[in-house]
């Protein structure tokens, strides 16, 4: 079917991440289900502009934000562009659909004093987990990498001598990020702590496999070596999960901030905003964040402008 061909195109030619592909699939399935229920139409490539408008209105009436609706329309637009190139349709029906205006919310970030409180005032337990959590949050703030990029880091991606970090970003694009001596020292401490944990797990595996089951033992050693490559692991030596990272970061940030949104991505926004406020140019921030377009990076200038407005109102007698 055409939908499956489109998803294969995203996966193998565009090389989108599994998370992005899942979002595209969900949007297409949702739209297809609506067409089937409302118009008895099974194929989204046959949709008329009025059908798309009707779906858009139903989403807005269901209190779906205009930003989310626009994202879903973007999925349809990509699908129809694929259909055009494949010769399946002659016109893109979205050309006759006006997208809803979305409010441009500014990126949420933490002030410098909050981040200073985090590293100076918050107590991290003197355990492997405490060391790991401190290292993760320091690395996220020091580099601006995404949570998915953090999860994909391997030990060999670090060059603590040169002070660099190799990151595999969206669409499998690699970039090299500089890291300072402060985070390098913390990473060295964490790596020593991790090696101790991995050694303990290997000894436990040895104890459990004292009977002469060579195949099982070989399989466990192989799995153990693969886990060792992943930089951030649990105390059991397994790669840490996305939800666990979110919970850890949220818990730590909630100790210094009362903001409702306290995700790992907030640290990415914080990194970019602090860099810009301290004089870094947009192009440099773009490269560090791994943005493909400068437009994606320019959103952080709005935070700087809003800060200037506040300073102006507070300081100028005629403000």
Looking at 53, 217, 250, 265, which residue is catalytic?
Answer: 265
Is there a contact between 145 and 139 (Cβ–Cβ < 8 Å)?
yes
What is the C-alpha to C-alpha distance for residues 221 and 205, in angstroms, rounded to an integer? 8
> Is 141 a catalytic site residue?
no
Catalytic one of 132, 146, 147, 194: 146
- List the catalytic residue out of 268, 269, 274, 286: 268
Give the ranges where 230-263 is alpha helix by DSSP (H): 242-253
In degrees, rounded to 5, the angle at the alpha carbon of residue 122 between the alpha carbons of residues 118 and 128 is: 105
Q: Hey, is 292 helix, strand or coil?
A: coil
Rounded to whole angstroms, how far apart are CA atoms 143 and 183? 10
Catalytic: 132? no
10 Å Cβ neighbour count for 272?
A: 24
Selected catalytic residue, list 3, 147, 194, 291 = 291
Of 24, 34, 141, 300, which residue is the catalytic one?
A: 300
26 is catalytic: no
DSSP codes of every residue in 141-164:
HHH---HHHHHT-BGGGEETTTTE
> Virtual CA dihedral for 12, 15, 20, 24, nearest 10 degrees?
-40
Does the active-site annotation cover 300? yes
CB 39 within 8 A of CB 51: yes
Q: In what order do the strands lie in the sheet with 164-168?
A: 158-159, 164-168, 174-178
- Name the catalytic one among 11, 114, 170, 302: 170
User: What is the distance between the alpha carbons of residues 96 and 142, in angstroms, rounded to a whole number?
Assistant: 45
Catalytic residues: 146, 170, 265, 268, 291, 300
């Amino acid at each position: 079917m055409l939908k499956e061909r489109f998803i294969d195109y995203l996966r193998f030619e565009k090389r989108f991440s599994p998370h992005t592909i899942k979002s595209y699939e969900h949007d297409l399935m949702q739209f297809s289900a609506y067409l089937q229920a409302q118009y008895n139409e099974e194929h989204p490539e046959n949709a008329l502009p009025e059908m798309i408008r009707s779906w858009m209105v139903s989403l807005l009436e269901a209190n779906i934000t205009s930003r989310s609706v626009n994202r879903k329309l973007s999925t349809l637009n990509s699908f129809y562009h694929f259909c055009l190139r494949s010769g399946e349709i002659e016109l893109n029906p979205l050309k006759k659909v006006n997208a809803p205006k979305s409010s441009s919310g500014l990126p949420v970030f933490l002030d410098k004093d909050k981040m200073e409180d985090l590293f100076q005032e918050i107590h991290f337990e003197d355990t492997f987990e405490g060391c790991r959590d401190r290292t993760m949050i320091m690395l996220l703030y020091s580099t601006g990498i995404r949570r998915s990029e953090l999860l994909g880091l391997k030990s060999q991606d670090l060059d603590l001598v040169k002070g660099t970090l190799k990151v595999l970003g969206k669409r499998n694009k690699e970039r090299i990020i500089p890291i300072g001596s402060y985070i390098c020292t913390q990473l060295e401490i964490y790596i020593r702590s991790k090696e101790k944990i991995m050694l303990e797990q290997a000894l436990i595996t040895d104890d459990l496999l004292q009977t002469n089951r060579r195949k099982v033992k070989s399989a466990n050693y192989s799995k153990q070596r693969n886990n060792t490559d992943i930089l951030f692991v649990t105390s059991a030596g397994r790669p840490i999960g996305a939800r666990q990272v979110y919970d850890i970061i949220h818990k730590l940030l909630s100790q210094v901030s009362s903001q409702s949104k306290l995700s790992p991505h907030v640290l990415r926004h914080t990194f970019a905003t602090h860099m810009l406020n301290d004089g870094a140019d947009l192009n440099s921030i773009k490269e560090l964040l791994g943005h493909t377009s400068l437009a994606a990076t320019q959103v952080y200038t709005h935070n700087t402008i809003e800060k200037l407005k506040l300073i102006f109102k507070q300081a100028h007698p005629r403000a």
